[in-house]
Structure 1
Amino acid sequence: MEARAEDLLPVEYFHFVFTLPAEIARIAYWNKRAVYGLLFKSSAQPVMTIAADPRRMGARVGMTSVLLTWGSALTHHPHVHMIVPDGGLSPGGSRWIACLRSFFLHVRVLSRLFRRLFLEGLMDLHCAGKLAFFGDLEELAEAGAFAACLAPFRKSEWVVYAKPPFGGPEAVLPYLSR
């Protein structure tokens, strides 16, 4: 924990949680490397994209992401916890752009972009033959069945949770170290 203290900025931090729907988590269970990698990528990209939008913040942000694969009930529940400073660097990198006090990014916008990026990535993995299916999921090996399985998820709301600011690094470090 002490070694990481110098890596954190003296600003407040926001906490986001990006969760996969339970039905997609079943696919992840048998395809951990591919799907968990996609989960990291498709949760980070919306934060960076929306924060960089000049209508939002217009800043290049960083983050620390941690993958948890089990929930508190000890069931398979893949989700990413993300800690993001309350601002970022200007496009030229010459100055810090702080977010509005106690507000970072719209959760609904993050959720919809996360959903789209994840589903597109999952389809790409399927088309590239990088997913395996077993038991009652075997039928998903066929492209049409896989596309039909994912179709309802394109319209459902995905859980992206945002917690209010933690406070400074002294509050973030104990959380991350757990």
Structure 2
Amino acid sequence: MTETATLQQALARFFNPAGLDRQRQRVCRHLLACRTEAMGGTVLQCTDCDHTQPHYFGCRDRHCPQCQGRAMHQWAERQQANILPVRYYHVVFTLPHSLNGWVQLHPEVIYRLLFQSAWHTLRSFGRDPKRLGGEMGMSAVLHTWGQNLSQHVHLHCLVPGGALGDDGGWHGARSHYLFPVRALSRHFRGHLVSGLRQAATAGELHRVTRPGDVDDQLNALMATEWVVYSKDCLEHTDTVVRYLARYTRRIAISNARILAVDDRQVTLRYKDYRDCDRRKQLVLDGEEFVRRFLLHVLPKGLMRVRHYGFLANRCRRRRLAQIRQALAVAEVTPDADSAASDPEPTYTCPHCRQPTLRVIGTLAPRRPTCGRPPNHREQRYRA
């Protein structure tokens, strides 16, 4: 095995643009160019030992495992002020695997209905006078994968445990699971199947062409139990922020899970939840690995993180102020240091191990001569 095995290395060996739509080709080219000469960058020089090296820019694609760590930290910093001093709940809404084919045919339609049905379910339960009797909030993030890169579409939702009542009071939840999960799953199932039926009637599922397939599929969906998971989280603010940020910026595969790449296969590590969460290794043919990864490329422009209720962008500041007033807690103000722009990054010299690398020039992007990133050892730079 090699310690340098990465998603970029696997794509460089096995990526074939033939037969792929434009969005998947675009994502693969971004990932292949990430932190290479194709992106351009800067030239760094050590002020102590005069060591010089290039530093290439990242692609910032949301599917790139090399570019999500910084984005996750920045997102967490922005969300810090929105956390309430209440119990939070982690709720997961999962689509049945029998819908995976429709997800590939009409991803925008299915993902839209998934978000809408999850929020409609929680909102209906929250407004029930016998439960919380008020307006709830929800932050939801779309995931489409399982540990072995199979298609497993689900929403991770972080829900403040309570509702803002019409009287301006806060109605807190006391249960360890927020609402009964069987009742949640059946309401969620009914709303989403109804939405699919309406979408089919409106012609939005036009790629489903086999006669009777829509009715057969929807009838079968209503005859099966759907999976909804709900559990309370820790109440500490920092923990909740990190918890939410981890889910919002996670991608289908990280470089740390790719153990080896050779001329024919890719070896990755995964956790088998059906076998007591044991960590195992999975060996896939290179083409199969790329195929599974590309299952999780999202349509261009699709928002995979969405906020609802009193956490919606249009009313969040006003509603959070009302809730904090009802809870008799002070409003959280962003820290001046975190609100300021990011300081100039520092780089550690690989020779003298000191943070003394400084920018002395820029590198212009180089267009690849083929589908793979260039691999030149020398490049001109402008001081």
Higher helix residue share: 1
Residues 10-69 of structure 1 deviation map (CA, whole Å, 9 limit, x = unaligned): 112100100000011221121111110100000111101011101112121001000011
Q: Which amino acid aligns with 2:107?
A: K
User: Does the CA-based 8 Å contact 1:15-1:82 persist in structure 2?
Assistant: yes
1:108 counterpart residue number: 182
Which among 241, 250, 263 is matched to residue 173 of structure 1? 241
Aligned to 2:125: 50
Let me know the Cα RMSD of the aligned residues. Answer: 1.4
- Displacement, 1:91? 2.3
Q: Which residue of 2 aligns with 1:38?
A: 113
The answer to whether residue 118 in structure 2 is matched with residue 118 in structure 1 is no
The reply to whether residue 151 of structure 1 matches residue 225 of structure 2 is no
Matches within 5 A, 1:89-104: 89-92=164-167, 94-104=168-178
The answer to whether the 8 A contact 2:91-2:230 is kept is yes
Cα contact 2:133–2:165 (8 A) shared by 1: yes
Pick from 82, 85, 88 the counterpart of residue 157 of structure 2: 82
Q: Are the aligned partners of 1:29 and 1:76 in contact in 2 as well (CA < 8 Å)? A: no
Task: Check the 8 A contact 1:15/1:166 in 2, yes or no.
Answer: no
Q: CA deviation at 1:101?
A: 4.6
Alignment partners' CA distance in 2, 1:49 and 1:7: 23
Match of 1:6 among 72, 81, 102: 81
Tell me the amino acid that sits aligned with residue 85 of structure 1. Answer: P
Which structure has the larger Rg over C-alpha atoms?
2
* Counterpart AA for 1:9: L
- Partner-residue secondary structure (3-state), 1:27: helix
Q: Assess, with a 3 A threshold, how the Cα gap between structure 1 residues 123 and 47 changes in structure 2: closer, same or farther.
A: same
- What is the CA–CA distance in structure 2 between the aligned matches of 1:74 and 1:102, rounded to whole Å? 31
Contact 2:91–2:156 (8 Å) recurs in 1: yes
In structure 1, runs of 5+ residues without a counterpart are none
Take 1:22 and 1:124, find their aligned partners in 2: how far apart are those partners?
A: 21
Following TM superposition, the consecutive aligned residue runs of length 4 or more in structure 1 with deviations greater than 4 angstroms are none
TM-score of the pair, normalised by structure 2: 0.43
* Distance apart, 1:113 and its partner CA: 0.5
Name the aligned partner's letter for residue 31 of structure 1: H
- The answer as to whether partners of 2:94 and 2:154 remain within 8 angstroms in 1 is yes
Number of corresponding residues: 171
- Superposition deviation, residue 168 in structure 1: 3.2
Q: Is the CA contact 1:13–1:168 (under 8 Å) kept in the aligned structure 2?
A: no
Q: Quick one: distance in 2 between partners of 1:131 and 1:28?
A: 10
What is the distance in 2 between the residues matched to 1:57 and 1:156?
A: 29
**1:169 positional shift:** 2.6
The TM-score normalised by the length of structure 1 is 0.90
| Post-superposition CA distance 1:48-105 (Å, at most 9, x none) | 101110111212100100001112110111110001001110124x111101253411
Gaps of 5+ in 2: 1-75, 247-383
SS of the residue aligned with 1:63?
strand
